Structure 1
C-alpha cells in the first residue's frame, strides 16, 4: 500500500508510522517526491487500511493493485534515475553501454574500451563468467577477467558492468563492479536476485527468453524488495517461432513498460538480432521507441571473438552508430548521456570547482572580450578562467563533456528579442539546467587601431545585431563607411587587429578593445540606451545545487507540450494564474521531426512557498510533456 504523509508531518510522527508498519510485518520504502512524501509498504502481512488512515500524520492510504509493488507506477509517478558512478540512466537521457561479449585478454579489453569511450559510450561492458548453451564453449576468464575490466574502466573513466551467474560470486564481484548484470537465463533465479539485491548496488535486469512483461517486473521486485532501488530493465528479445534472427526484438515492450513502472528501460540490439548488420537499425528503432539507453557488443576483431562475434560491431561501425543516435536523439526529445572525455577525466567535482577559483572554467560563445565574457565576470569574478567557443552548440558540449563547469549563453536582448537557437539547445540537452541569470547593458563602441580616425574609416565590422543597434549612428556619423556583418562583435575587433588596416573599424564592447589593445574612437553609439542582454548560466544537473545554494531562487523556466485541441494552452496557462505565478515570458517553438507541432517555453516567478510545485503537479495532468529547464535567481 501507499501511505501519503501530511506535508507538515514531524519526525516523531513519521517514525511512529514507520514503526507501526514494520511491526505489522511490512518492508517500508520512503519516497520523497516534488509534492508529497509517501511510504511504500510491501509484504505478506495484511492490515486494515482504516488502522493506517487513523495514524497521526497520515494524509491518505492507497492500495497498490499490481503484483509488483515497489516497481509500479502506482508507488512512484516520477521516473527513477539510476546512478552508476558519474553516469545517470533514465529520464531524458540515452546512456550507451558498450564492450565485448567476453573479456578475452587484457590487451583486448583495453583496446575496445578506448575505442568505445572515444565514440561516446559511458559504461563499459564485458563478460567474465559466461553462461553458455554448450559446456564446451568459452566460459570466461572469471576473476582475472574482472581485474582486466576494472583496470580498463579506471583508465578510461568508465563505470563497468558484468554478468553474475552464481550467488556465491556476488561478494567477490562487488569489489570490482559498478553495476551487476542479471542475464536472461537468470531472470527468475530468485536466490541470485535476493543476494544481488542485498548489495544495494545498481543492477541491469535482462528480460527472460520467454518471460512476460509482468514476470520481468516481478523479477525486478525481487531485487527491490531485497535492498536495491537502482534497477535498470533491459529488453533483449524474446524467443518466438521465428529463426531468421537470434531472437525477436519486442520493441513494443519499451513504451508499455514505461507506463507500468518508474524504472528506466534500455535495449540490447546485439542479442536480440544476433546479426551485425541488424544491430544499428534496431538500435535506432529502440531509441525511437523511447529507450533510455542501449547495451551494444563491440569487438576489435569480431571474426576472432571467443563468443558472439557475428553480432559484434566493429569499432568503426559503433562510432557511426553513435553519430546516428546523436542525430536521432533531438527528434525524440532526448540527448546522449556524456561523461568527460579522456583529457578531462581528472576534473574535480562541482563543489571543488566552485570553491577553488583556479579550477573554475566557464564557457561562452565568441572571442575574448565578448559581452558574454563580461557577464561571466559579473556572475563570478574577473579571475575566472573562460573557454571561448566557436558557436553556442560548442558551449553546451563543453559543459556536457566537463571541459567547462558552467556555460554563459545569451537568451534575450531587449531590442533583438529571443535567441531561439539557445532555447532549442536547452530543449535538446536534458542533462543541462539553468542555475542563474545575468543581465548586461550593451554599450557599443567604435573601435579601431591606434592612430585611426573616424573620418578615414572605410569599413565597419560587427555582428548583424550590433550593426542594427547602432543604425542611427552609422547613418549620421559614419555614412561614408560600409557596414559589414561579422559572426561576433568581439571577433570583429580581433579581425580588425589582425588586418592591421587603420581604415577598418569594429563595433563592440569596451572589454574587447582592452583585450586586443585597440583604441575606442567613439563610446556609447547604440541607438537605444535601453539595450540589455539577458544571459543564462547553465551547468550539468549534478552541479546545479552548488550554484543555487549561493543565491535566492525566485524564478523558473520550463518547457511543455499540450494536446492539440481548442483551449489546451489556455488551460495550462490558467494553472499559473490559479497559483499566483507571474508569467514573465511565453514562446512557442517547432518540435523537431514533428511538422506543425509546437512546444511552449515559459518563464515564471515562483510565487509563494510551494506554489510552483503545486502548479507543476497540476500541469503534469494537463500537458503531454513538461520539463523544468531550471530554477534560479533572477537579476531583473
Structure 2
C-alpha cells in the first residue's frame, strides 16, 4: 500500500507510522517526491487500510494493485536515477556501458577499456564468470578476471559491471565491482536475486529469454524486497520462432515498461541481434524508443574473441556509434552521460559561490522551467541549484560576483540565428571564459490550467520567438485566440498560472508545465521540428581549467580585429586554413565607440595537436587584437 503523509507531519508522527507498519509485518520504504512524501509498505500481512488512515499524520492510503509493489509506478511516480560510481543512469541522460563479452587477459581488457573510454563509454563491462550453453565453452577467468576488470576501470576512471552466477560469490565480488549483472538465464534464480539484493549495490537486471514484462518486474521486486533500490532493467531480446537473428529485440517493451515502473530501462543490442552489422541500427532504435542507455560488446580483435565475437563491434565502429548517438540524443530530448559529470565536489573552488547552499549554482536568463534550465539539467548533476536571472547581463554579473559558479547562455538558434547580445557580453567581460556547450531541441507545447479546454482559449502568451515558431498552429488551430508577446516562455506559464483564467494559455517547454503544475494541452506545436538552440557554458577564468579537465577539448571561440585595409580579414582566415583548422562560425560585430568598424567572432575546430597555438601566434601578428573567448569540447 502507499501511505501519503501530510505535508506538516512531524518526525515523531512519521516514526510512529513506520513502527506500526513494521509491527504488522510490513517492509517500509520512504519516498520523498517533489510534491508529496509517501511510505511504501509491502509484505504478506493483511491489514484493513482504515486502521492506517486513522493514524496521525496520514493524508491518504492507496492500495497498490500491481503484483510488483516496490517497482511499480503506482508507488513512485518520479523516475529513479541509479548511481553507479560517478555515473547516473536514468532521467534525461543516456549512459553507455561497453566492453568485451569476457575478460580474456589483462592486456585485452586494458586495451578495450582505453578505446571505449576515449569514444565516450561511461561504464566498463566484462564477464569474469560466463554461464554458457555448452559446458566446453570458455567459462571466464573468475576472480582473476575481476582483478583485471577493476584495474582497467580504475585506470580509465570508469565504474565496472560484470555478471554474477553463484549466490555465494556476492560478498567476494563486492570488492571488485560497482554494479552486478543478473543475466537472462538467471533472471528467475530467486536465491541469486536475494543474495545480490542484500548487498545493496546497483544491479543490472536482464530480461529472461522467454520472460513476460510482468515476470521481469517481479524479478526486480525480489531485488528491491531484499535490500537494493538501485536497479537498471535491460531489454536484451527474447526467444521467438525467428532464427535470422540471435534473439528478437522487443523495442516496444521500452515505452511499455517505462509506464509500468519508475526504474530506468536500457537495451542490449549485441545479445538481441547476435550480428555486428545490426548492433548500430538497433542501438539507435533503442534510444529512439526512450531507453536510458545501452550495453554494447566491443572487442579489439573480434575474430579471436573467446566468446560472442560475431556480435562485438570493432573500436572504430563503436566510436562512430557514439557520434551517431550524440546526434540522436538531442532529438529525443536527452544528452549522453559523461565522465566525470560536472559535480560540485570537484569544482568548489570558491566556497562562497553559492548564496543558497553548498551545492553548485548555475545561472540562466528566464524563469524556472525555461529551456536554459533544461540545458543546465543535461549538463550538470541533479544536485545543482539554479539561479534565474532577469537578463543575460545579469547572468554574467552573477558569475563574476560569485553568486553562481557557471552560467548557461544561448548562443544561436537554428531558426532565429545568433543571439548577438551574448556575443557582445562575452567580448565585454574579459574575466569570463567559454568552457562548454549544450544543444537542446526546442519543443513547444500549448500549456494551460489543469482542466482547461483548447476551444475556450482566448489569449496565448509566449516569448515573441516562441509565437513566431508556432505560427502555423496559431493561425490554423487557434485562429480565434489572440497571440500576446511575453518576456519569457516559462514566465508566460507562471503568468497564466497566477491569472487562474482558463481562457489563457502559454507556449513553452514541457519542463515549465511541470515546474508550475500546469497541463500540456497540445504537444509539439512548433512549425518547424528542426528547431535547436545551442548554449555556451561560461565561468570565471580561474575555474575554467577544472571544467575543461572533464573532457578532451576540440573547439575554440575567439574574437579579433583586423587593420582597415583590403584583404586583412581574408589574410586572417587564411591562417586557419593553412593550419587545418575547420572554421564552424563567423560573425561580425560593431565595435562600440568606433562607427563602421567591426570585430570578428570565429568558432573553429582545434585541428591536430599544437596547430591552434601556432595559428594563434600568427593571428596575433596579423591582427590588431586577438582574444580567445574559450576552448571546450564539442560533439556537434
Pick the TM interval, shorter chain.
0.5 to 0.7
| Secondary structure at the counterpart of residue 224 of structure 2 | helix
Give 2:466's aligned residue.
588
CA distance, structure 1, for counterparts of residue 312 and residue 115 of structure 2: 14
CA distance, structure 2, for counterparts of residue 168 and residue 54 of structure 1: 45
CA distance, structure 2, for counterparts of residue 407 and residue 427 of structure 1: 10
**1:104-503 paired onto structure 2 within 5 Å:** 104-340=104-340, 350-351=344-345, 353-356=347-350, 411=365, 435-437=386-388, 488-489=423-424
Give 2:555's aligned residue.
none
**1:469-618 paired onto structure 2 within 5 Å:** 488-489=423-424, 509=428, 562=445, 568-571=446-449, 588=466, 601-603=489-491, 616=515, 618=517
Whether the aligned pair in 1 keeps the contact of 2:255 and 2:289 (CA below 8 Å) is yes
Say if 1:283 and 1:437 are closer, same or farther in 2 by CA, change over 3 A: same
| Secondary structure at the counterpart of residue 317 of structure 1 | helix
Deviation at 1:571, TM superposition (A): 3.3
Deviation at 1:91, TM superposition (A): 1.1
Give 1:98's aligned residue.
98
Given the alignment of the two structures, is residue 45 of structure 1 paired with residue 26 of structure 2, yes or no? no
CA distance, structure 1, for counterparts of residue 244 and residue 452 of structure 2: 54
| Secondary structure at the counterpart of residue 40 of structure 1 | strand
Whether the aligned pair in 2 keeps the contact of 1:435 and 1:536 (CA below 8 Å) is no
TM-score by length of 2: 0.64
CA distance, structure 2, for counterparts of residue 538 and residue 618 of structure 1: 31
Give unpaired runs (5+ residues) of structure 2. Answer: 395-410, 413-419, 454-460, 478-487, 501-510, 525-636
CA distance, structure 2, for counterparts of residue 429 and residue 242 of structure 1: 41
1:578-622 residue CA offsets vs partner (Å, 9 max, x unmatched): xxxxx9968638999x9999xx940389999xx999974742686
Given the alignment of the two structures, is residue 18 of structure 1 paired with residue 12 of structure 2, yes or no? no
Deviation at 1:33, TM superposition (A): 0.6
Say if 1:406 and 1:63 are closer, same or farther in 2 by CA, change over 3 A: closer
CA distance, structure 2, for counterparts of residue 32 and residue 137 of structure 1: 48
Deviation at 1:570, TM superposition (A): 3.7
| Secondary structure at the counterpart of residue 222 of structure 1 | helix
| Secondary structure at the counterpart of residue 569 of structure 1 | strand
Say if 1:422 and 1:48 are closer, same or farther in 2 by CA, change over 3 A: closer
Whether the aligned pair in 1 keeps the contact of 2:451 and 2:519 (CA below 8 Å) is no
CA distance, structure 2, for counterparts of residue 66 and residue 114 of structure 1: 44
1:311-370 residue CA offsets vs partner (Å, 9 max, x unmatched): 0000000000000011111111111111139xxxxx9x624632557xx9xxxxxxxxxx
Whether the aligned pair in 2 keeps the contact of 1:302 and 1:312 (CA below 8 Å) is yes
CA distance, structure 2, for counterparts of residue 212 and residue 322 of structure 1: 31
Say if 1:193 and 1:601 are closer, same or farther in 2 by CA, change over 3 A: farther
CA distance, structure 2, for counterparts of residue 211 and residue 219 of structure 1: 10
Deviation at 1:54, TM superposition (A): 0.7
Say if 1:589 and 1:191 are closer, same or farther in 2 by CA, change over 3 A: farther
Give 2:533's aligned residue.
none
Whether the aligned pair in 2 keeps the contact of 1:164 and 1:170 (CA below 8 Å) is yes
CA distance, structure 1, for counterparts of residue 469 and residue 234 of structure 2: 28
Given the alignment of the two structures, is residue 619 of structure 1 paired with residue 497 of structure 2, yes or no? no
1:156-186 residue CA offsets vs partner (Å, 9 max, x unmatched): 1101000000000000001111000000000
| Secondary structure at the counterpart of residue 141 of structure 1 | coil
| Secondary structure at the counterpart of residue 348 of structure 2 | helix
Say if 1:304 and 1:351 are closer, same or farther in 2 by CA, change over 3 A: closer
CA distance, structure 1, for counterparts of residue 362 and residue 271 of structure 2: 40
1:114-156 residue CA offsets vs partner (Å, 9 max, x unmatched): 1000100000000000000011100000000000000010111
CA distance, structure 2, for counterparts of residue 57 and residue 427 of structure 1: 34
CA distance, structure 2, for counterparts of residue 225 and residue 340 of structure 1: 31
Whether the aligned pair in 2 keeps the contact of 1:407 and 1:538 (CA below 8 Å) is no
Say if 1:155 and 1:36 are closer, same or farther in 2 by CA, change over 3 A: same
CA distance, structure 2, for counterparts of residue 246 and residue 303 of structure 1: 18
CA distance, structure 2, for counterparts of residue 334 and residue 603 of structure 1: 23
Give 1:369's aligned residue.
none
CA distance, structure 2, for counterparts of residue 269 and residue 71 of structure 1: 24
Say if 1:7 and 1:426 are closer, same or farther in 2 by CA, change over 3 A: closer
Give 1:89's aligned residue.
89
Say if 1:63 and 1:440 are closer, same or farther in 2 by CA, change over 3 A: closer
Whether the aligned pair in 2 keeps the contact of 1:586 and 1:603 (CA below 8 Å) is no
Deviation at 1:291, TM superposition (A): 0.3
Deviation at 1:51, TM superposition (A): 0.7
Say if 1:490 and 1:7 are closer, same or farther in 2 by CA, change over 3 A: closer
| Secondary structure at the counterpart of residue 116 of structure 2 | helix
CA distance, structure 1, for counterparts of residue 163 and residue 473 of structure 2: 43
Whether the aligned pair in 2 keeps the contact of 1:587 and 1:602 (CA below 8 Å) is no
Whether the aligned pair in 2 keeps the contact of 1:2 and 1:39 (CA below 8 Å) is yes
| Secondary structure at the counterpart of residue 466 of structure 2 | strand
TM-score by length of 1: 0.64
Say if 1:585 and 1:51 are closer, same or farther in 2 by CA, change over 3 A: farther
Deviation at 1:441, TM superposition (A): 5.9
Say if 1:620 and 1:188 are closer, same or farther in 2 by CA, change over 3 A: farther
